[in-house]
Amino acid sequence: MVGGGIVVLIGLNAATVVSEEPGHFYPKDFNAYLVIGKNGRVTVFSGKIEMGQGVLTSQAQLVAEELGVSLTSIDMVLGDTDRCPIDMGTFGSLTTRMFGPVLRAAAAQARAELLALAARKLRVGPDRLQVVHGVVSVVGQPHRQVSYGELAKGASIVRTLRGEAILRSASQFQVMGTSAQRLDGREKVTGAAQYAADIRVPGMLYAKLLRSPSHGATLQQLDTSVAEQLPGISLVNRDGLIAVLHADPEAAEEGLRRINANWQSPVGKLDPDSIHEHLVSQAAPLKTVALRGDVTAARAKATRIFESTYQKGYVAHAALEPHAAVAQIQEGQVTVWASTQTPFPTRDRIAKALGLESARVRVITPFLGGGFGGKSADQQAVEAARLAQMTGKPVQVAWTRAEEFFNDTFDPASVVKIVSGIEADGKISLWDYSVYSAGERGAVACYDIPNASFRSNRPSSPTVRFFRPPRSRTRS
Amino acid sequence: MVMKGPISFTLNGGGVTVNTEGDRTLLWVLRTDFALTGTKYGCGEGFCGACTVLVGGNAVYACLTPLKDVANKEVLTIEGVARYGELHPLQQAFIDHGAFQCGYCTSGMLLSAIALLREQPNPSRDAIVSRMDRNLCRCGAHQRIVAAIEATARRRIVSP
């Protein structure tokens, strides 16, 4: 209701649910995002995962606020491809901005439907009702009440209302905008929180993979005869995958140590010192991202010109938890627990690698011990799934720190060149910006510089380019 | 030649005996044999501190501690810190101060902090920072971790 503030109307219509991926829409049915059990507990489903950035709690805050339930009555199900709305993944600081409005709208619609149900049950107009912690009551007559649990009973809520639900305004916020205690606190401080390498299933084998000493190396000679002598060991050497497996991870590690392999490594031509010159000299042509004013004229007119070159090296993501995954295949259905930021793309990659339909694969995302953008390639999940298929046993792949550095999809090395200028009044009049090898995201300066050129030799990924914030209507 | 034999020690207050090679590291005995997965693998080289446990009251890296070195000693892991469901004041302080994010370093941080406060019940802030240096955090919860330890030491009431 309006109380002199701004009211934002939002609905799960096509414009609102345009997600980060072109052509992909989040579900329009609010029941895809939440279900209220008979006991009043609210289960929320989201494809966004928790890796320390706090979205387990913040997404719960969004729902608690709009639905009118207490934060601690919410159970979050994150990154389970069987249960959660399809999602491109968790990265780019996009969860709150892009998925947040969708989740709020779903919760607001659910609340509106529950109020309508309560109004019929309590035989009173919905405008005479209030919701406190999931209990609907008649204002001024608290004994006339019904709980969300009694109304929903764990089933889907039928959509009866047309139009858009009203979102709560900032002045009304009781849960959003507060420093809520993280919902995963108790699990994490007691050691109960599960990460992928903590997952064990009956009959599981631990796998250690033979890695080449450098990328692009070719295997010249392989002798596994000594490794094979270890009791309980099994070996896989198929389709480029060479692995030692054992029911005990240390025995698998010992088996790996006993493998004799000779490799031919390519001669490296680049190193951390030569990479930047290489990037610039080999760069694809720069393309203009944005242009303002007249850069050439501004350069001539400037009282002082500055020319700077900035170099950034490859940076390892170095999450404290190395990549890990457990894969289990039962009756043709594949279940993979994976430390991944991208459970849905992981599912598709695994399905492709195994020659299966995506519907046969379920990815479940436990807590991640950090991601920082480095857990989106899912190599370890595919390794575990392939080994599970080859051996017929559940398999855990958990990378060592050395493997973690070796297999990292590094934050890219890049070069930025800026020619800038100021005029006599000290204001920046010229900004000629070029970025090599790092995409164009963030390249366009937000400052009011009259003559500017922004160029990049690499387009950003299509997901960012098609970014459109949800359209919303406001009324004050 | 590796010898397998019974090794007895106290684990989280209870006596246990394992029949295994004495040169296996405590980290993997805990995680595999006892299925206590709260102690984490981060580097395996005694660099990150994610595997920190207490042996005889001292904080050690479980990844570098051979099992035979804990014979007849008291071992405390994160699973043994809360007693009968009641959180240790440090655990509660970590929650109250939001002293964690991904949580992967948290077990090690807590065990290191417990050892620190046992040795120095009222450490200076500098002493806390210096001692906690042996535990890495990649998420950036450092300030809140120090605040939680300091608050516990000073027995301050926390309003989040």
Rounded to two decimals, the ipTM of the complex is 0.96
Q: Is residue A130's pLDDT more than 60?
A: yes
Q: Residues 386-405, chain A: which have Cβ within 8 Å of B?
A: 398, 400-401
Provide the token pair at A14: 């096509």
User: What's the pLDDT tens digit per position in A319-345?
Assistant: 999 999 999 999 999 999 999 999 999
Chain B residue numbers with beta carbons less than 8 Å from the beta carbon of A320 are 40, 42, 48, 50, 102, 104-105, 136-139
Instruction: Name the more confident of A378 and B156.
Output: A378
Q: Residues 156-195, chain A: which have Cβ within 8 Å of B?
A: 179, 181-182, 184-195
List the single residue in A189, A248, A249 with the smallest CB-CB distance to B100.
A189
B4-80 fold:
Ubiquitin-like (UB roll) (3.10.20)
Q: Do B101 and A190 touch (CB under 8 A)?
A: no
State residue A35's pLDDT score. Answer: 98
Q: Is residue B160's pLDDT more than 90?
A: no
* Close Cβ partners of A234 (under 8 Å, ≥ 6 residues apart): A205, A244, A245, A246, A391
Q: Is residue B129's pLDDT more than 90?
A: yes
Q: Burial, A382: exposed, middle or buried (Cβ in 10 Å; 0-12, 13-18, 19+)?
A: buried
Q: Is residue B86's pLDDT more than 50?
A: yes
Whether the Cβ atoms of residue A185 and residue B144 lie closer than 8 Å to each other: no
User: What's the pLDDT tens digit per position in A347-361?
Assistant: 999 999 999 999 999
Residue of B nearest to A253 (CA): B28
List phi, psi (to 5°) of A472: -140, 155
* Mean pLDDT rounded to a whole number for chain A: 92
Residue A216 confidence class, pLDDT cut points 50, 70, 90: very high
Range B14-39 average pLDDT: 97
State residue A13's pLDDT score. Answer: 58
- d(CA A252, CA A235) in angstroms, rounded, equals 10
User: What's the pLDDT tens digit per position in A54-90?
Assistant: 999 999 999 999 999 999 999 999 999 999 999 999 9
State residue A90's pLDDT score. Answer: 97
- d(CA A55, CA A78) in angstroms, rounded, equals 10
- Please tell me the CATH code under which domain B89-154 is placed: 1.10.150.120
- Residue A291, min C-alpha distance to chain B (Å): 37
Instruction: Name the more confident of A472 and A158.
Output: A158
Whether the Cβ atoms of residue A439 and residue A283 lie closer than 8 Å to each other: no
- A293 interfaces chain B, CB cutoff of 8 Å: no
- As a whole-number percent, the residues of chain A with pLDDT over 90 amount to 84
Range A117-134 average pLDDT: 96
- d(CA A118, CA A459) in angstroms, rounded, equals 52
Q: Give me the residues paired with residue A29 across strands.
A: none
State residue A473's pLDDT score. Answer: 40
Q: How many CB atoms lie within 10 A of CB B89?
A: 15
State residue A441's pLDDT score. Answer: 84
- A82 interfaces chain B, CB cutoff of 8 Å: no
- d(CA A348, CA A382) in angstroms, rounded, equals 10
- A367 interfaces chain B, CB cutoff of 8 Å: yes
Q: Is residue A5's pLDDT more than 80?
A: no
Q: Do B100 and A181 touch (CB under 8 A)?
A: no
Place of tokens 């599970």: A388
Taking the alpha carbons at both ends of chain B, their separation in whole angstroms is: 56
What is the reported pTM?
A: 0.92
* Close Cβ partners of A218 (under 8 Å, ≥ 6 residues apart): A263, A264
Domain ranges of chain B: 4-80, 89-154
* Close Cβ partners of B143 (under 8 Å, ≥ 6 residues apart): none
Residue A149 confidence class, pLDDT cut points 50, 70, 90: very high
State residue A268's pLDDT score. Answer: 86
Q: Residue A344, CB half-sphere, CA atoms under 13 Å: how many?
A: 16
Q: Is residue A4's pLDDT more than 60?
A: no
Place of tokens 């989740």: A103
Burial A174-197 (b: 16+ CB within 10 A, else e): ebbeeebbbbbbbebbbbebebbb
DSSP string, B124-157: -HHHHHHHHTTS--SSS-HHHHHHHHHHHHHTPP
State residue A324's pLDDT score. Answer: 98
Q: Is residue A3's pLDDT more than 60?
A: no
The answer to whether the Cα torsion of A285, A291, A296, A301 is positive or negative is: negative
Q: Residues 222-261, chain A: which have Cβ within 8 Å of B?
A: 248-250
List the single residue in A191, A248, A369 with the smallest CB-CB distance to B102.
A369
- B9 interfaces chain A, CB cutoff of 8 Å: no
Whether the Cβ atoms of residue B152 and residue B120 lie closer than 8 Å to each other: no
List phi, psi (to 5°) of A112: -65, -40
User: What's the pLDDT tens digit per position in B46-66?
Assistant: 999 999 999 999 999 999 999
Chain A residue numbers with beta carbons less than 8 Å from the beta carbon of B96 are 181
- As a whole-number percent, the residues of chain A with pLDDT over 70 amount to 91
- d(CA A193, CA A364) in angstroms, rounded, equals 15
- As a whole-number percent, the residues of chain B with pLDDT over 70 amount to 96
Chain A residue numbers with beta carbons less than 8 Å from the beta carbon of B91 are 189-190
Residue A21 confidence class, pLDDT cut points 50, 70, 90: low
User: What's the pLDDT tens digit per position in A253-310?
Assistant: 999 999 999 999 999 888 888 999 999 888 889 999 999 999 999 999 999 999 999 9
Q: Do B102 and A192 touch (CB under 8 A)?
A: no
- Which has the minimum average pLDDT: A14-28, A144-158, A410-424? A14-28
Q: Is residue A10's pLDDT more than 70?
A: no
Angle at B117 between CA B113 and CA B120, to 5 degrees: 135
What is residue B33's three-state secondary structure?
helix
Closest CA to B36 of B87, B82, B79: B79
- A366 interfaces chain B, CB cutoff of 8 Å: no
State residue A474's pLDDT score. Answer: 37
- d(CA A284, CA A310) in angstroms, rounded, equals 18
Q: Do B139 and A370 touch (CB under 8 A)?
A: yes
State residue A25's pLDDT score. Answer: 77
Q: Burial, B47: exposed, middle or buried (Cβ in 10 Å; 0-12, 13-18, 19+)?
A: middle
Q: Do A189 and B95 touch (CB under 8 A)?
A: yes
State residue A472's pLDDT score. Answer: 43
What is residue B63's three-state secondary structure?
helix
- Residue A322, min C-alpha distance to chain B (Å): 7
Residue A442 confidence class, pLDDT cut points 50, 70, 90: confident
State residue B104's pLDDT score. Answer: 98
Domains within chain A, CATH numbers bracketed: 7-185 (3.30.365.10), 198-264+318-406 (3.30.365.10), 279-314+412-465 (3.30.365.10)
State residue A15's pLDDT score. Answer: 52
